[in-house]
Amino acid sequence: MNNIYDAIKEKENQIAIFQAQISGLNAEIEALRVAARILEGGTTQGVPEAARPVAVQTSSNGGDKTKRVWP
């Protein structure tokens, strides 16, 4: 059985991973919304950051990584 502190740290790491995944999914959703507006002939004036990638922190059992995603 793991030490209680190891179990807590493991759960905190899982939370960090899930938060990074959620952040990435939110960025993908926003990119899809922008694409839908463009395809429908709408405007993207309310979304000036859509043209730049956003840094998203991810964690994978060996350390932190940063990847770029398009909002």
pLDDT at 26: 96
Structure tokens at 17: 């991973």
Burial of residue 56, with CB atoms counted within 10 A of its CB: 0-12 exposed, 13-18 middle, 19 or more buried: buried
Beta strands in the chain (DSSP E): 54-59, 64-69
Residue with the bigger pLDDT between 26 and 71: it is: 26
pLDDT digits 0-9 by tens, 12-45:
999 999 999 999 999 999 999 999 999 988 765 6
Q: Is 63 left (phi over 0), alpha (psi -120 to 50) or beta?
A: left
Q: Is 49 within 8 Å of 30 (Cβ atoms)?
A: no
Q: pLDDT tens for residues 51-62?
A: 555 666 666 555
pTM check: above 0.75: no
Higher local confidence (pLDDT), 48 or 3: 3
